[in-house]
Amino acid sequence: MTYFRFNMAASMACQAAVRGLRAASTKQLLGSRNQLARVSPRRWLNLQEYQSKKLMQDSGVTVQRFFVADTASEALEAAKRLKAKEIVLKAQILAGGRGKGVFDSGLKGGVHLTKDPAVVGELAGKMLGFSLTTKQTPKEGVKVKTVMVAEALDISRETYFAILMDRSFNGPVMVGSPQGGVDIEEVAAATPELIFKAANQIKRLYDLFLKVDATQVEVNPLGETPEGQVVCFDAKINFDDNAEFRQKAVFAMDDTAESDPLETEAARHDLKYIGLDGNIACFVNGAGLAMATCDIIDLHGGKPANFLDLGGGVKENQVYAAFKLLTADPKVEAILVNIFGGIVNCAIIANGITKACRELELKVPLVVRLEGTNVQEAKRILSESGLPITSATDLDDAAKKAVAAIAKN
């Protein structure tokens, strides 16, 4: 491949996007004066490594021969069927750093090489059914339910290659580096001269990128064997959620076992939910308003328990579903509703709130701030409901009242 020098600022922006799309990993999303609130977002569809490799394989991209196993005996049989000189066994979880991870079985490392198929069975027995903790998993780790048994190949040269959507370029960007198999962000920071923009399309990977409506196709490393064969050794693909209607086969592979059940349930109702560590539930429309609400709560000494984004075209049943989700969280001691009705009809929100309060028999304090479309009708609905709902004049007032409500209890 021929490479041209890639502008450092652009490369860092691209890699920030790459990192941002690794939704399976635990991230620090919201800062406060005293501490950071840990969240585990699941916004984009993420596939296991073997699923990404299968998509690549189906598109004519060269990957290692591999099998998938759910039991130690299946892993042993797979290792025998490969008839390879050397075998690599990889735990399948939606988190990076597997090679340096630790299992609660005592086994160190989620990636192992061996020439003996019998050893594959033994190692798989110490992986499957046990939790693997890495730098990207929660403290308790993630339970491994599947392992990939693959042919190990010698690599004479490693490179990094990715195609990703980048806003600054208004479309997909190809990013490459002669240093593969390492943390690409570290390469960008320490040796920016080693980051390049590909000139020639890597056709099959790009065709795959377009075919599956990907937001990222990352291969690290893209390696060359001593025989000159170019192989995608490790693959990561992220997808555009908005394309689910035409990518049903891809989205059917979604495994929600590693996801927060509340986030999974929210997605079923077209709601965006992210769990936090506090006790004041935030019920908003729009990510920016959600962030502002969390910040104002923190400013007044409170801690947000989540943010739940209704989005634009909200319906009454979604409001009900949202309250059901919020009250299912045992940490929640108060709920703050902060809606700015542009395309959202505040009266719909008000009707949904009153229905939820009555049918769910809401037990925690509820503070509501509504502004925008049909707000006077919404306020009338709330005031005539006879329910113990505290109205707020603005966001600052709402946050103060939510924090004070918890203090009273």
Q: Could you list the active site residues? A: 160, 218
Dist. CA 35–CA 24, nearest whole Å: 22
Rounded alpha-carbon distances, angstroms, from residue 372 to 20, 289, 347, 394 = 32, 14, 10, 12
According to the 3-state scheme, what is the secondary structure of 63-82? ECCEEEECCHHHHHHHHHHH
Dist. CA 404–CA 327, nearest whole Å: 19
Dist. CA 322–CA 154, nearest whole Å: 52
Whole-angstrom Cα Rg for the chain:
24
Annotated binding site for Mg(2+): 220, 234
Q: How far is CA 367 from the centre of its chain?
A: 30
Annotated binding site for substrate: 285, 342-344
Rounded alpha-carbon distances, angstroms, from residue 54 to 50, 67, 216, 232, 374 = 6, 10, 16, 11, 51
**Residue among 285, 389, 378, 291 nearest 339 (CA):** 285
Annotated binding site for GTP: 64, 97-99, 153
φ and ψ at residue 290, rounded to 5 degrees: -65, -45
Tallying the residues shown for the chain, one arrives at: 409
- Where are the strands (E) in 130-278, listed by range? 131-133, 142-143, 147-151, 157-166, 171-177, 196-198, 214-224, 230-232, 235-239, 272-275
Q: How far is CA 178 from the centre of its chain?
A: 28
Dist. CA 358–CA 175, nearest whole Å: 54
Q: Amino acid letter at 8?
A: M
Annotated binding site: 64, 97-99, 153, 220, 234, 285, 342-344
